[in-house]
């Protein structure tokens, strides 16, 4: 593993968007979809989820800062980020 952290945006079955951070993105996606234990409470009731976007950051702190910025965006701003 390269030590990178990932910020990601998921689309839930109900159409809502979820933003998170993970070191192992594929494992975290399996958790969100219920294939592995440990998914978030938010996505547990909104499965299946689909990965729409992700970006790498050098460390956990940078990933969490970027996650916080994304979470402050409106839905329309997040959708524009996805298209960019």
CATH code for the domain defined by 5-83: 3.40.1440.10
Confidence of residue 84 (pLDDT cuts 50, 70, 90): confident
pTM of the model: 0.92
Give mean pLDDT, residues 46-71.
Answer: 97
Torsion, CA 66, CA 67, CA 71, CA 72, rounded to 10: -30
Spatial CB neighbours of 57, under 8 Å, sequence gap ≥ 6:
4, 5, 6, 7, 21, 63, 66
User: What was the pLDDT predicted at 1?
Assistant: 47
Chain segment 1-57, per-residue pLDDT in tens = 467 999 999 999 999 999 999 999 999 999 999 999 988 999 999 999 999 999 999
The pLDDT score that the predictor gives to residue 2 is 62
Half-sphere exposure of 40 (CA within 13 A, CB side): 14
Q: What residues does each domain of the chain span?
A: 5-83
Spatial distance between the Cα atoms of 7 and 3, rounded to a whole number of angstroms: 13
| CA atoms of 84 and 67, how far apart (whole Å) | 17
């Amino acid at each position: 593993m390269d030590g990178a952290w990932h910020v990601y945006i998921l689309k839930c079955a109900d159409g809502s968007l979820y933003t998170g951070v993970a070191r192992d993105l594929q494992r975290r996606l399996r958790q969100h979809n219920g294939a592995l234990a440990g998914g978030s409470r938010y996505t547990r009731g909104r499965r299946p989820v689909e990965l729409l976007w992700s970006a790498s950051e050098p460390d956990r702190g940078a990933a969490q800062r970027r996650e916080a910025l994304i979470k402050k965006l409106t839905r329309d701003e997040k959708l524009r980020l996805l298209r960019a």
